[in-house]
Structure 1
């Protein structure tokens, strides 16, 4: 009996001999390719030989072979020690939305049988990291990633640290191995130390690399519009590019622990929290002028992550006229020994003064991060939507 997985979920593997089969319902006119990419601990490719695709169907180690267009054989016992992940990807030239019936995969071997059903409708991305097999503490696991890239194979290759010749728009799956060799016109590779959650609802799940997550750092920052000039604060250009006078943006969070304890950390009411005692969440100050280059920072004590149920990260305009579309606001979530997670506040012009940016959840001990970027008229309306159940009254700094 198969075990269905959902996006972001992982499961232990009990065998090293596995078969991965893709099943895609599509018309014959759709150009679709499946590939496997073997990655080092950094999440980057070590060499162009670590791509397995139709024109290079077998890895030199014998760890991965493409048997046909939709089937891969995997022998985890043959994965070289310096390689710790195998990512399986799909590329659809017409975009995932062309897969009206969606896509699925089945990963099976002696004692293992896992399945996943993914959606294609409404998705403009042309390439997709479907799942990955990864080694952790001498054990292998499977994880459903389901992360798409709008530009096709080139941005996906860049995501894995590959330098692409001739610009991102010119690379295709068939060019990938040669594109991995840097040339005089090669573009700079994207550093895999940062992963961007592009669309509302995008998620990623981080697992502990040691006994705890350490200090989880949430930074809110921005670039002023028009390029050049000094940083003015996340809302420094809201009033037509002038000084930030009158604009006061606050970073904060609503939290809920597994024992039912709930609370808020924010500058309003001077609820700055504490890192070393409950609630183990700390706001390092209140930038009321937008002049602090480091932006606003919130810290979560990862040693107590097992006590946490969820943490909702928000930004709130305490003073000033909301015009989020004039900013390049972004939150970066940093965790030791993990890739940075970037979330951009990509509103098209909301006039609400409260933005729920991200939700951090404890899912079986993992740190699950989802992009929200939902706008509300204030704390109370957002609370009602997300169900924390606080009692509200007017507050001051």
Structure 2
């Protein structure tokens, strides 16, 4: 049975030998390249041999072989111990927006069968990390990444530590042909990420205003409704019942003048975007079945008055297994890269997770990955020092 992944979702692999295949729809006047990069725990290659492409189709270990332009044979049992991740990359010239029918990948083994479909329309990036296979606690997992780079193959490869060489005059292949080696840039290329993932707890990024304000800051929570095994569905896996899990998004906030408050569906504190607290929760998805998930908005025109916003999610009822939710939060602001935070946890059964902290750092927007788990709102508040008085609430 084929498991269809969504962006950011991961799944455990049962097979060591797999075939990865990248597919695109009918395209014209588009040059496509497919490649793969084996990475150490530093996020970099250990040598240029770890970059697999047309002129170098086989990794010395035998762990990865590019059989055709868009098909790779993978043998995870041969991956050297110092390498922990395999990233599969698609490059499109003049850009992903030319893939009007989108793209998809298939990952198959004896029992493993996964696929993913991504969109190209409206995306100006030229390179895309499509999928990753990664080692975690001795097991291998697959993750649908769908993360774009504004530059082409050369800056992306250099980002991973590859010493890029080649001729800029080499022709690019057709969609079904084998990929050409990346050209050598005329000068050092800077990598402009269209999506930045904060991987580790404590990772922080600071966004500078590019106009008078940050505009509308959009915080989205989404999760996988179909996780779990058997016929119980997600809630059967998480809470022993039939149905979808009620994973709620909210925040605690503090203004520079000392004003504090909370925005969440519990107690119907949905806030407001145009008047204090200038933070608004647009609804309450009790199942996770709404494609857009749950959305929190901050009026960036008022960011100068805000001191900090603590973004959280919690299970309204039942016993949580956060590892099964594949929960993820994205934070977007106009003219800024998208920031993604995965709610990665294994075996955590607390009902409350502090996902991120947004802080006003001399006018800049500083975002840090927290992913700290608590039994409820109060111990989270005690930890972060908001100082609210708590009582039992309902929706």
Q: Identify the TM-score tier after normalising by the shorter chain.
A: 0.5 to 0.7
Match of 2:260 in 1: 271
Which of 180, 186, 209 lines up with 1:174 in the alignment?
180
Match of 2:114 in 1: 114
Cα pair 1:254 1:262 within 8 Å, conserved: no
Cα pair 1:64 1:74 within 8 Å, conserved: yes
Q: Residues 223-238 of structure 1: matches in 2 within 5 Å?
A: none
Match of 1:18 in 2: 18
Q: Aligned partners of 1:87, 1:13: CA distance in 2, in Å?
A: 15
Q: TM-score, normalised by structure 1?
A: 0.53
Distance 1:70 1:368, change over 3 A: farther
Cα pair 1:154 1:168 within 8 Å, conserved: no
Any idea what the Cα deviations from partners look like across 1:329-352, whole Å, max 9, x if unmatched?
xx9x9xxxxxxx99895559xxxx
Distance 1:346 1:65, change over 3 A: same
Structure 1 residue 187 and structure 2 residue 188: aligned? yes
Distance 1:48 1:319, change over 3 A: closer
Cα pair 1:361 1:367 within 8 Å, conserved: no
Structure 1 residue 317 and structure 2 residue 302: aligned? yes
Q: Aligned partners of 1:186, 1:70: CA distance in 2, in Å?
A: 29
Q: Residues 22-41 of structure 1: matches in 2 within 5 Å?
A: 22-27=22-27, 29-41=29-41
Q: Aligned partners of 1:53, 1:343: CA distance in 2, in Å?
A: 33
Distance 1:69 1:162, change over 3 A: closer
Cα distance, 1:109 vs structure 2: 0.6
CA RMSD of aligned residues (A): 4.8
Cα pair 1:38 1:85 within 8 Å, conserved: yes
Distance 1:179 1:146, change over 3 A: same
Match of 1:380 in 2: none
Distance 1:72 1:255, change over 3 A: closer
Q: Aligned partners of 1:216, 1:154: CA distance in 2, in Å?
A: 26
Which ranges in structure 1 are unaligned for 5 or more consecutive residues? 191-195, 223-233, 239-246, 274-308, 321-330, 334-340, 349-356, 372-397
Cα distance, 1:80 vs structure 2: 0.8
Q: Aligned partners of 2:168, 2:133: CA distance in 1, in Å?
A: 27
Which ranges in structure 2 are unaligned for 5 or more consecutive residues? 173-178, 222-245, 263-293, 312-328, 347-352, 359-395
Cα distance, 1:57 vs structure 2: 1.1
Say how many residue pairs are matched: 266
Cα pair 1:254 1:265 within 8 Å, conserved: no
SS in 1 for 2:44: coil
Q: Aligned partners of 1:132, 1:37: CA distance in 2, in Å?
A: 10
Q: Residues 301-340 of structure 1: matches in 2 within 5 Å?
A: 315=300, 317=302
Match of 2:94 in 1: 94
Distance 1:267 1:312, change over 3 A: farther
Match of 1:50 in 2: 50
Match of 1:127 in 2: 127
Distance 1:259 1:344, change over 3 A: closer
Cα pair 1:253 1:266 within 8 Å, conserved: no
Cα pair 1:310 1:361 within 8 Å, conserved: no
Cα pair 1:50 1:59 within 8 Å, conserved: yes
Q: Spell out structure 1 runs of 4+ moving beyond 2 A.
A: 26-30, 161-176, 185-190, 202-206, 215-220, 252-273, 309-320, 341-348, 357-369
Cα pair 1:92 1:127 within 8 Å, conserved: yes
Q: TM-score, normalised by structure 2?
A: 0.54
Match of 2:139 in 1: 139
Distance 1:48 1:166, change over 3 A: closer
Cα distance, 1:205 vs structure 2: 6.9
Match of 2:75 in 1: 75
Distance 1:18 1:367, change over 3 A: farther
Any idea what the Cα deviations from partners look like across 1:74-95, whole Å, max 9, x if unmatched?
0001001111110001111221
Match of 1:103 in 2: 103
